[in-house]
Amino acid sequence: MAKPVTITDVQVILTQPGKSRLAIVKVTTSEPGLYGLGCATFTQRIFAVAAAIERHLRPFLLGRDVDRIEEIWNMSMAHGYWRNGPVLNNAISGVDQALWDIKGKRAGMPVYDLLGGKSREAAHVYVHADGGSKEEVAENVRAYMARGFRYIRLQLGGYGGKGSPMIKPKGAPPGAYFDPRDYARRTLEMIAFVRGEIGDQVELLHDIHERLAPIQAAQFAKDVEGFKLFFLEDALAPEDIAWFRMIRAQCATPLAMGELFNNPHEWQTLIQERLIDFIRMHISQMGGITPARNVAIFADMYGVRTAWHGPSDTSPVGHAANLQLDLWHPNFGIQEWYRPSELDYAIFPGLPVVEDGYLYANDKPGLGIDIDEELAAKYPCQDIVEDWTQTRLPDGSPARP
């Protein structure tokens, strides 16, 4: 038997070419020139992920056989005894995606071929149209339509809306305030307006981003039903998923859920009871391609489609991994897309491109993406205390962002 190719180093590359701080894992091997890349981006706790990789995973992984992805994934998860969680899952994802990249490079195949081959040539994407007024949102939708996009998410003033009139109590602390009732009312009005303006030519989506109380979310899902959204996203917080049964019993608005999930218990029941239509984990947050592959197959058995999370806090390497899955699994639904900058394309050669609303892979072996480490180093991660996640209700109490 040939001598195995082994892991000789596991490095974390931190870079911030835009708003989001990104963590990329580079696994180097005993074969000269052979390495793989993976996304480990948990942007709000980026340095904790880096420490988990450098201090805990790296020493445990050195010398292991790069071919044994399954065994390495399971042992990486169990070896710390306490499992799951966003920091550990993202750290494991960085290694897992890099090992799939390496396996593809060794086989001379893109990852979608390792998974079973293409079901489609390109992946339909949706993009975000935000605006300060319903007229501005409609204008942005038209601009996207002119560029060939056919799936467009509508938001009025960001998550939870902005600019609601509200009376705060004396001494209310600073924060990102929003009023759930006003947000729901104005958003329904905006969706009705946009649908009236553009007709049925494109699919519309909306993200509640867990900003409503469960019963308010149920009302919203019912009220929006007639506008035939492609899906309504994160109607509930992960802590409230039992309420999906009630929403499902009330209306046929398609439901998408999952970007915050990091434990299999969070998605098993939703899929088995067919309480949602689209499962949309953040692939690095769930631990990489290996668990995402399992969930895609599991969801397919229940008629649930995928819509993997893909905003700017998924790294370009993570987007390349999303696309490999999208092209392969038969139950693909839609891919969220963030419109990368020219700098993103310069730092990450091979980052997928969109044409006429479709995302295309370059069909190179592995994930098909690389990193210019020198250029990435010119954009180091900044120390940031996020403001937008310091979310508050009108009386000043903390809310989920």
Stretch near Mg ion under the rule CB under 5 A, chosen from 47-55, 204-212, 345-353, 368-376: 204-212
Annotated catalytic residue within 112, 144, 159, 177: 159
Spell 284-316 as b/e; 16+ CB within 10 A means b: bbbbbbbbbbebbebbbeeebbbbbbbebbbbb
- Is 209 marked active-site? yes
- Beta carbon nearer to Mg ion, 207 or 266: 207
> Please, what is the minimum distance in Å from the beta carbon of residue 356 to Mg ion?
24
213-216: long-range contacts (C-beta < 8 A, 24 or more apart)? 213/180, 214/240, 214/243, 214/246, 216/180, 216/181, 216/184
> Please, what is the minimum distance in Å from the beta carbon of residue 253 to Mg ion?
16
- Beta carbon nearer to Mg ion, 58 or 124: 124
- Beta carbon nearer to Mg ion, 224 or 369: 224
Distances (CA, A) of 184 to 179, 180, 191, 195, 213: 9, 6, 11, 17, 11
> Please, what is the minimum distance in Å from the beta carbon of residue 153 to Mg ion?
9
Tell me the residue nearest to Mg ion as measured from the CB: 207
Annotated catalytic residue within 124, 128, 206, 209: 209
> Please, what is the minimum distance in Å from the beta carbon of residue 233 to Mg ion?
5
> Please, what is the minimum distance in Å from the beta carbon of residue 236 to Mg ion?
12
Q: Which of 96, 101, 179, 207 binds Mg ion (CB under 5 A)?
A: 207
- Beta carbon nearer to Mg ion, 207 or 277: 207
Taking residues 336 to 375 in sequence order and writing x for each that binds Mg ion by CB under 5 A, - otherwise, the string is ----------------------------------------
- Beta carbon nearer to Mg ion, 207 or 326: 207
> Please, what is the minimum distance in Å from the beta carbon of residue 110 to Mg ion?
27
Contact call for residues 310 and 337 (beta carbons, < 8 A): yes
Question: In the window 143-172, what residues touch Mg ion (CB under 5 A)?
Answer: none
For the chain, helix (H) and strand (E) counts, in that order, are 15, 15
Taking residues 220 to 259 in sequence order and writing x for each that binds Mg ion by CB under 5 A, - otherwise, the string is ----------------------------------------
Stretch near Mg ion under the rule CB under 5 A, chosen from 55-63, 130-138, 202-210, 295-303: 202-210
CA distance 310 to 305: 15
Q: Which of 185, 202, 206, 198 is nearest to 128 (CA)?
A: 206
- Beta carbon nearer to Mg ion, 207 or 370: 207
Q: Which of 245, 259, 358 is nearest to 307 (CA)?
A: 259
Distances (CA, A) of 105 to 283, 368, 381: 21, 9, 29
DSSP category for residue 391:
E
Q: Which residues contact 394 (CB under 8 A, 6 or more apart)?
A: 164, 166, 167, 168, 177, 179
Distances (CA, A) of 287 to 125, 142, 219, 284: 23, 37, 34, 5
Phi then psi for 320, rounded to 5 degrees?
Answer: -65, -40
Alpha carbon of residue 331 to chain centroid: 17
> Please, what is the minimum distance in Å from the beta carbon of residue 367 to Mg ion?
23
Stretch near Mg ion under the rule CB under 5 A, chosen from 154-162, 190-198, 207-215, 244-252: 207-215
Q: Which of 147, 130, 232, 145 is nearest to 190 (CA)?
A: 130
Contact call for residues 202 and 149 (beta carbons, < 8 A): yes
- Beta carbon nearer to Mg ion, 103 or 211: 211
Total site size for Mg ion, rule CB under 5 A: 1
Stretch near Mg ion under the rule CB under 5 A, chosen from 102-110, 199-207, 211-219, 290-298: 199-207
Provide the annotated active-site residues.
159, 209
Binding positions for Mg ion, rule: CB under 5 A: 207
